[in-house]
Amino acid sequence: MAEPTTFGRREFLKLGSLAAVTGLAPLARAVAQSTPPPPADHSLRIAAGRIDLGAGHEVTTTLYNQQFPGPLLRFTEGKRVIVDIHNDTDIPEVAHWHGQMIPSDVDGAIEEGTPVIPPHGMRRISFVPKPAGFRFLHTHVIAGSDLTRGTYSGQAAPVYIEPKLNPGAYDREVFLVLKEFEPSFSRGGDMDMDFLSGATSKELKQIGKGADQKNPHGLGQKGFEVEYQSFCINGKMLGSGEPVRVRTGERVLFHVLNASAGEIRSVALPGHVFHVVALDGNPLPTPADVPVLWLGTAERISAIVEMRHPGVWVLGDLDNDDRRRGMGIVVEYAGQSGEAQWVKPRKYQWDYSIFGKSVATPAAVDETIELLIVKNNAALGGFNQWTLNGEAFSMEKMKPLYTVREGRRYRLKFRNASDDIHPLHLHRHSFELTRIHGKPASGVMKDVVMLGGFQELELEFMADNPGPTLFHCHQQLHMDFGFMALFRYA
């Protein structure tokens, strides 16, 4: 038998026997027929590397294929792919295919049972990419207090799944990956949150206050937060990379990804509006024009910009400090020169419901699950502990919190008794926003949504992808300290 080139014979045979569970049917057939396995469609190598963000900022971090962002992976909806993932680091890694509806053993979450990619080893995976749209590949390991691990590292890559039919009313696409580096701990400040629409709840404030009073660390002391030294788009600080070069009259489709470990980002382009056509890669019932994009951690926005305001502009974050430290990219019209200009946009409140159907026709749900989110300030060695209905997720116990049944529709009702904004994420399923901060919504399908401080939100999902399914806050610091829950199928 020919010796396979990518891994040892023993691993090869072992993989063959695993083929049934990992969905590697072509490989299993190859083993049965003693022919070499098919080559991978994509190969990823997780390894430490050094990247030059510009302006004298070089950072050492863990990367995919020695680049940041990782390579843009283009798949075709419904067409099976084989991906080899090599891990050159000393810790077990796992790569999560965020936003795809694929089996638990390839989804990329240890809590769901995905096998790790062993240190100095490799894992070959195969899956059928879906649904079409803008997706995201990132590491899914717990970082805890280690700011070199998890999403604090540079393991992030945009994924685009081409639809079978592409209407394409744009001239070209530009991918923008927003990211911070050089993290350190701080004792938290207050998060800016008046950008989110909707009222706060007195009752939730009371619950939060009650939790502070019961917690010996609750009053007066705030837990650790994470701050960053350098900020970049597509791996370059503002002014250091190549500008986005455009022509007057062009329609540019921007695919924006917030690859932060925990920051909320805003994006504006002076004198231009964003015609938002998709959120988290999913087409919207009502595409709408907005002056500013707001993205919680791991959210994606696809928006068309008509280039009708010639000049050299800063496309950047509204936060002056973050923008000056690199969170921006220059947009340069053909024939224009000079220093890039920034103009602060008018105040704008972000409201997901404007992108939904104008007339809501609520679907019947089989069950409503209410989840109360409580913060215990500084309760875990100086870190905030997070509980859902009084329970912090335990990595040791990995106890499933809820059992769902295939074919049923579930409503999750979130009540946030903390002052933080939480980018809530459900694996392996898309959900529909049905009530946002007090306002009914329908037709907006997402996989991450920002829940405002002391606010409420409802989303619904169809249990249509059997297998253990993780739910968590996408803020790495929140997810690592309790803010997770596991759903299992009956």
Provide the CB-side half-sphere exposure for 296 (13 A, CA). 26
Q: Which stretch binds Cu ion (CB under 5 A): 57-65, 333-341, 376-384, 471-479?
A: 471-479
State which residue, 323 or 437, has the beta carbon closest to Cu ion: 437
Distance CA 478, CA 260 (A): 13
Position 475 contacts Cu ion (CB under 5 A): yes
State which residue, 262 or 356, has the beta carbon closest to Cu ion: 262
Closest CA to 429 of 471, 458, 399, 476: 471
User: Least distance to Cu ion from the beta carbon of 471, Å?
Assistant: 12
Question: Which residues face 328 on adjacent strands?
Answer: 316
Q: Which stretch binds Cu ion (CB under 5 A): 95-103, 241-249, 408-416, 476-484?
A: 476-484
179 contact partners, CB below 8 Å, separation of at least 6 = 68, 69, 154, 156, 231, 232, 233, 235, 259, 260
Phi-psi region of 321 (alpha: psi -120 to 50; beta: other; left: phi over 0): alpha
State which residue, 123 or 425, has the beta carbon closest to Cu ion: 425
Distance CA 173, CA 285 (A): 21
| Helix or strand (DSSP H, E) at 16 | helix 9-22
Q: Which stretch binds Cu ion (CB under 5 A): 133-141, 150-158, 253-261, 478-486?
A: 478-486
User: Least distance to Cu ion from the beta carbon of 473, Å?
Assistant: 3
User: Least distance to Cu ion from the beta carbon of 426, Å?
Assistant: 14
The rounded radius of gyration (Å) of the Cα atoms in the chain is 22
Q: Helices 9-22 & 25-32, crossing angle to 10 degrees?
A: 130
Position 138 contacts Cu ion (CB under 5 A): no
Closest CA to 407 of 366, 361, 446, 362: 366
Residue spans of alpha helices (H) in 23-118? 25-32, 104-107
State which residue, 62 or 139, has the beta carbon closest to Cu ion: 139
Q: Which stretch binds Cu ion (CB under 5 A): 123-131, 249-257, 286-294, 470-478?
A: 470-478
Question: Of residues 414-453, which lie at the interface with Cu ion (CB under 5 A)?
Answer: 422
DSSP character for 334?
A: T
Residue with tokens 């509980």: 387
Position 478 contacts Cu ion (CB under 5 A): yes
State which residue, 207 or 473, has the beta carbon closest to Cu ion: 473
Contacts 24+ apart (CB under 8 A), 27-33: 27/82, 27/124, 27/126
Distance CA 241, CA 326 (A): 10
Residue spans of alpha helices (H) in 67-224? 104-107, 202-214
State which residue, 22 or 387, has the beta carbon closest to Cu ion: 387
User: Least distance to Cu ion from the beta carbon of 478, Å?
Assistant: 3
Distance CA 305, CA 407 (A): 39
User: Least distance to Cu ion from the beta carbon of 417, Å?
Assistant: 12
User: Least distance to Cu ion from the beta carbon of 114, Å?
Assistant: 22
User: Least distance to Cu ion from the beta carbon of 237, Å?
Assistant: 27
DSSP, collapsed to helix, strand or coil, labels residue 353 as helix
Distance CA 179, CA 136 (A): 13
Q: What are phi and psi of 89, to 5 degrees?
A: -95, 175
State which residue, 51 or 388, has the beta carbon closest to Cu ion: 388
User: Least distance to Cu ion from the beta carbon of 293, Å?
Assistant: 20
State which residue, 427 or 478, has the beta carbon closest to Cu ion: 478
Q: Which of 473, 484, 485, 486 binds Cu ion (CB under 5 A)?
A: 473
Position 484 contacts Cu ion (CB under 5 A): no
State which residue, 147 or 449, has the beta carbon closest to Cu ion: 449
State which residue, 86 or 427, has the beta carbon closest to Cu ion: 427
State which residue, 125 or 211, has the beta carbon closest to Cu ion: 211
Residue spans of alpha helices (H) in 185-299? 202-214
User: E-assigned strands of 447-483?
Assistant: 448-451, 456-462, 469-473
User: How many of the chain's residues bind Cu ion (CB under 5 A)?
Assistant: 4
User: Least distance to Cu ion from the beta carbon of 477, Å?
Assistant: 8
What strands, in cross-sheet order, belong to the sheet with 469-473? Answer: 402-404, 484-489, 469-473, 422-426, 448-451
User: Least distance to Cu ion from the beta carbon of 474, Å?
Assistant: 7
Question: Of residues 318-377, which lie at the interface with Cu ion (CB under 5 A)?
Answer: none
User: Least distance to Cu ion from the beta carbon of 179, Å?
Assistant: 18
State which residue, 446 or 478, has the beta carbon closest to Cu ion: 478
Q: Which stretch binds Cu ion (CB under 5 A): 165-173, 297-305, 329-337, 467-475?
A: 467-475
User: Least distance to Cu ion from the beta carbon of 483, Å?
Assistant: 5
Where does this chain bind Cu ion (CB under 5 A)? 422, 473, 475, 478
